[in-house]
Amino acid sequence: MPQVSRLFVLVNMVMLGKFSAVLSLVVVAIIAIDGSIASASSVNETKVQAGIGNSSMAMIAYSPNQVEIVSGQSVTWYNPTAVAEPHTVSFILDNTAKADLIGPFAIPKNASLSPLVPDSNSEPLLTPDGTAIIAVNKRAFNPIVIDSTDGVIPLNQNANYTLTGTEKYVNSGWLLPKGLEQTYPGSGNTFTVTFQKPGNYNYLCLVHPYMTGTIIVM
């Protein structure tokens, strides 16, 4: 019997004055049977996939890409795929604090550079004069927050961060599938944010800027 019909019958029985003593017990039983009612009142953390797919196909998207929560609740992103495609969850709340994925950095001439991961088929890209290396930006690679005073706050991998809404930039760091984090040493697998202030929070992946999502905090 559908949920609404069961409740309707129950209410009618109670109105007849015959079953009021068991009302609370029956309501508890119905709530226990119906998972949607139970979860709506008890779940305090929403999970979002950063990357979708399996071993033969990976999609560059968040799922679900729009989530509604109430202030005080948390969202956890994780990379569930089987391929080592990195994603970030990056809130750019002030455009002046956006971190580019890569950037040129000066290095001493004749510096010796070797790949961090042996046999990774990688080679540093130098500028033509050999004084700068085009490298991944730490502020796009690592979990990091830039606060309202431009303070740079490093977070741990797989961070759990409480967002007040005053930040300029909040980044998850690179999220790799569990067990494949060492493809890019220092990357993580999850990122959890607790939202304190109501509003619409748009975010994107710095590796794939067309990969976007929204958290609506009521």
Using CB under 5 A, list all residues that contact Cu ion.
Answer: 87, 205, 207-208, 211
**Buried-exposed string 150-177: b where 16+ CB fall within 10 A, e elsewhere:** eeeeebebbbebebeeebbbbbbbbbbb
Give the up-direction half-sphere exposure of residue 80: CA atoms within 13 A in the CB hemisphere.
Answer: 13
Question: Which parts of 54-209 are beta strand (E)?
Answer: 58-63, 66-69, 74-78, 90-92, 102-106, 125-126, 132-136, 144-146, 152-154, 160-163, 169-171, 190-195, 199-204
Residue 148 beta carbon to Cu ion: minimum distance, rounded to whole angstroms? 27
**Residue listed under structure tokens 């890019």:** 184
Provide CB contacts within 8 A for 42, sequence distance 6+: none
138/208 with CB nearer Cu ion: 208
Q: Which is nearer to Cu ion, 145 or 211 (CB)?
A: 211
* Pick 87 or 168: Cβ nearer Cu ion: 87
Residue with the shortest CB distance to Cu ion: 205
3-class secondary structure, 35: helix
CB of 205 to Cu ion, least distance (A): 3
Which of residues 159 and 207 has its CB atom nearest to Cu ion in the complex? 207
Contact 174, 86 (CB under 8 A): yes
Work out how close the CB of 209 gets to Cu ion at its nearest, in angstroms, rounded to a whole number: 9
**Shortest CB 99 distance to Cu ion, Å:** 15
CB of 117 to Cu ion, least distance (A): 20
Of 97 and 140, nearer to Cu ion (C-beta) is: 140
How far apart, in whole angstroms, are the C-alpha atoms of residue 115 and residue 69? 43
